[in-house]
């Protein structure tokens, strides 16, 4: 695949030149990066097993990867981050567009010239003595018309190993780039892992990402949030599709019909659990099945039939470990018994990975490699992760690699709300549904730095990830409602409603299928609901609750419409929407005012 040239006196592998090759732009950019960063050597990655084995051996030798128990977790490894580098850093993440209004109040903005100067000063000479890896990758099935390619340049072999799992990385992606001549450029260096010298810059108008000073997944695996959401959302608006922070799950009923649902929840709010849901025993006996297409990111576009069709641009899962157990997510647990990279989990005495919520064993080492001390709990970092191929999931969908994607029957929004918000409700129409998504709120989790448990507005679960002004993003969503469109129904769920004792009222996990069944019934025009100002709500007996014991308080609050509370909520929504000024689509303000007026009676 490669030849060698000389660069800084060192052998430098490069792809073979092709006649009139579209790789000229890629080669030129790589050499510009090399002149800036001054690596000791350059390695073009082909994604092969032998290359992967060499990288793993390298990381074992330098202590970057620690082997786990080969009998219980074959070909699995543990990576321990710098303690100051364990989550996304939203306050250091910027969108760099020609003007601040394009980025919007939902993003930190920096002028492109200023951002380039700042980043290039950090990158100057940063790879001296290191290998610079060139990682061509494809987000989405390699032959899908909706897939998009990128190239990440990085000095982290840990990043290369993860990108091999999370994307279609290597020779096939490079071949597609050569055919198409278009790709997203991503430049990454771990730098010195200094929090004071850490920035993640996005240049949507240039299809470019620059990330410095972090080795954490969301900051360093540039194909993931940086490309597949921040850059892709901008691309999607230009090209007429949607790039969303959504899982994709297929629900097959006993009649053999499969309905695909896309659902947006903020990080660490149960997306992976829902994507890999195992039906309750009574449902399994009846013939219900669940198919996992994706657990985190969804790219959707209108098909010739007017429906939205979706692909999962990722090839793997970068899942949150704490709370994953045989009870909460047996499929995820089964997926990570082999060929998995664990990050910042604890380990048992026999070097098995461990985290809070897994089981009742006591770990030997915590996530910083220290002897476990209950006084220094938790043992695993709350945002510790596993990286594993999607194909290892027992519920992996046979249609996950279909180039055209899968048709979406319903879109679901949801977050953590301890009060007010019922278990489920349905939007009246597309505009109402966009308002539901635009105004959704959730309590923060450990997936981002900052306080945990604070309620914030997180439109479509895209607050950290939308690559342009939310007002324009809402308008883009509204634009799909046009003649001939057969758009999915939109719902909102809240698995996290609590009772007066502070305990969750809904059992969650596999029992969430009961709610999805009601949604599918609504899509088919078969399930009942009660109309309220906030949307259509089921009564408790509209769901199949066989085998579920709900207290009277749970039945009351999970299916309740609380007029006074919702009036205060809609006053808050008005204040939030007004933050976007005159750029906000008037249709959302009209919808908010109409619902508020109905609430006032």
- In SS3 terms, 412-441 reads as EEECCCCCCCCCEEECCCHHHHHHHHHCCE
Phi-psi region of 309 (alpha: psi -120 to 50; beta: other; left: phi over 0): beta
Please say whether the beta carbons of 439 and 457 come within 8 A: yes
Residue 171 burial class via C-beta count within 10 angstroms: exposed 0-12, middle 13-18, buried 19 and up: middle
Catalytic member of 96, 126, 226, 269: 269
Q: 294 a known binding residue? A: no
Q: For residue 31, what are its two tokens? A: 């050499």
> Which tokens is 100 given?
């601040």
- Angle 157-166/49-61 helices, nearest 10 degrees? 140
Rounded Cα distance between 177 and 186, Å, is 14
Residue 549 CB neighbour total at 10 angstroms: 7
Is 217 labeled as ligand-binding? yes
Pairing type for strands 441-443 and 385-389 reads unpaired
Q: Please name the residue that has the structure tokens 């055919």.
A: 179
| 3: helix, strand or coil | strand
269 is catalytic: yes
Q: Strand, helix or coil at 461?
A: helix
CB of 376 within 8 A of CB of 81?
A: no
For 343-387, what is the HEC assignment? ECCEECCCCCEECCCCCCCCCCECCCCCECCHHHCCCCCCCCEEE
Residue 96 has what DSSP assignment?
-
Measured CA to CA, the distance from residue 97 to residue 327 in angstroms comes to 45
Query: What distance in Å separates the CA atoms of residue 278 and residue 411, rounded to the nearest whole number?
Result: 20
**Pairing assessment for the beta strands 289-294 and 341-343 based on DSSP bridges:** unpaired
Q: Strands 247-252 and 258-264: what pairing?
A: antiparallel
Q: Which pair of tokens denotes residue 265?
A: 């929840």
- 511 appears as a binding residue in the annotation: yes
Q: Is 88 annotated as a binding residue?
A: yes
Q: Which of 167, 178, 161, 159 is nearest to 142 (CA)?
A: 167
Cα–Cα distance for residue pair 148/125, rounded to 1 Å: 30
Does 344 belong to an annotated binding site? no
C-alpha span between 29 and 184 (Å, rounded): 12
Is 272 one of the annotated binding-site residues?
yes
CA distances from 362 to 35, 68, 109, 198, 477 (A): 50, 17, 45, 35, 48
> 175-180: long-range contacts at Cβ-Cβ below 8 A with a sequence spacing of 24 or more?
176/138, 176/142, 176/147, 176/149, 177/22, 177/23, 177/26, 177/136, 177/149, 177/151, 178/18, 178/21, 178/22, 178/23, 179/22, 180/22, 180/149
Sequence ranges of the binding site for GTP: 268-273, 385, 416, 509-512
Sequence ranges of the binding site for Mn(2+): 225, 245, 296
Sequence ranges of the binding site: 88, 216-218, 225, 245, 267-273, 296, 383-385, 416, 509-512
Active site residue ranges: 269
Sequence ranges of the binding site for substrate: 88, 216-218, 267, 383-385
């Amino acid at each position: 695949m490669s030849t060698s040239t000389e660069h800084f006196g060192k052998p430098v592998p490069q792809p073979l030149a092709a006649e009139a090759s579209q790789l000229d732009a890629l080669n030129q950019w790589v050499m510009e990066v090399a002149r800036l960063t001054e690596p000791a050597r350059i390695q073009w990655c082909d994604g092969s097993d032998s290359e992967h084995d060499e990288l793993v051996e390298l990381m074992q030798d330098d202590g970057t990867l620690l082997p786990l128990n080969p009998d219980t977790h074959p070909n699995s490894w543990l990576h321990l981050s710098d303690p100051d580098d364990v989550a996304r850093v939203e306050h250091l993440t910027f969108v760099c567009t020609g003007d601040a209004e394009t980025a919007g109040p939902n993003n930190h903005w920096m002028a492109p010239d200023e951002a380039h100067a700042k980043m290039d000063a950090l990158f100057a000479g940063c790879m001296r003595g290191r290998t610079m890896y060139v990682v061509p990758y494809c987000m989405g099935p390699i032959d899908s018309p909706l897939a998009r390619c990128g190239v990440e340049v990085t000095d982290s072999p840990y990043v290369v190993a993860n990108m091999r799992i999370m994307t279609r990385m290597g020779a096939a992606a490079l071949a597609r780039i050569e055919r198409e001549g278009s790709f997203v450029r991503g430049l990454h260096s771990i730098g010195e892992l200094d929090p004071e010298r850490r920035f993640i810059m996005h240049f949507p108008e240039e299809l470019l990402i620059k990330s410095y000073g972090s080795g954490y997944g969301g900051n360093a695996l540039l194909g993931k949030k940086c490309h597949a959401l921040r850059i892709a959302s901008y691309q999607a608006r230009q090209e007429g599709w949607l790039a969303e922070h959504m899982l994709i799950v297929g629900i097959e009923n006993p009649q053999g019909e499969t309905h695909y649902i896309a659902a947006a929840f903020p990080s660490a709010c149960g997306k992976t659990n829902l994507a890999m849901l195992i039906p309750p025993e009574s449902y399994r006996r009846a013939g219900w099945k669940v198919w996992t297409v994706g657990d985190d990111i969804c790219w959707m576009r209108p098909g010739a039939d007017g429906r939205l069709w979706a692909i999962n641009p990722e090839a793997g899962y970068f899942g949150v470990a704490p709370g994953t157990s045989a009870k909460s997510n047996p499929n995820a647990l089964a997926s990570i018994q082999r060929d998995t990279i664990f990050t910042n989990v604890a380990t048992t005495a026999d070097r098995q990975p461990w985290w809070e919520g897994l089981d009742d064993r006591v770990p030997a080492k915590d996530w910083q490699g220290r002897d476990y001390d209950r006084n220094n709990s938790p043992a695993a970092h709350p945002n510790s992760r596993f990286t594993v191929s999607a194909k290892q999931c027992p519920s992996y969908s046979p249609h996950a690699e279909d180039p055209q994607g899968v048709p979406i029957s319903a879109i679901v929004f949801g977050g953590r709300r301890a009060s007010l918000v019922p278990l489920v409700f349905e939007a009246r129409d597309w505009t109402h549904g966009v308002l539901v998504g635009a105004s959704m709120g959730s309590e923060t989790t450990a997936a981002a730095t900052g306080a945990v448990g604070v309620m914030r507005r997180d439109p479509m679960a895209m607050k950290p990830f939308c690559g342009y002004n939310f007002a324009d993003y809402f308008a883009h969503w509204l634009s799909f409602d046009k003649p001939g469109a057969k758009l999915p129904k939109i719902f909102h769920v809240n698995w996290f409603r609590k009772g007066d004792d502070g305990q969750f009222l809904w059992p969650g996990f596999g029992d969430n299928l009961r709610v999805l069944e009601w949604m599918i019934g609504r899509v088919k025009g078969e399930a009942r609901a009660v109309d309220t100002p906030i949307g259509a709500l089921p009564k408790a007996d509209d769901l199949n609750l066989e085998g579920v014991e709900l207290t009277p308080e749970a039945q009351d609050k999970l299916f309740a419409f609380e007029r006074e509370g919702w009036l205060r909520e809609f006053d808050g929504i008005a204040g939030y929407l007004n933050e976007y000024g005159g750029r906000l689509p008037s249709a959302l303000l009209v919808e908010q005012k109409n619902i508020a007026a109905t609430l006032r009676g």
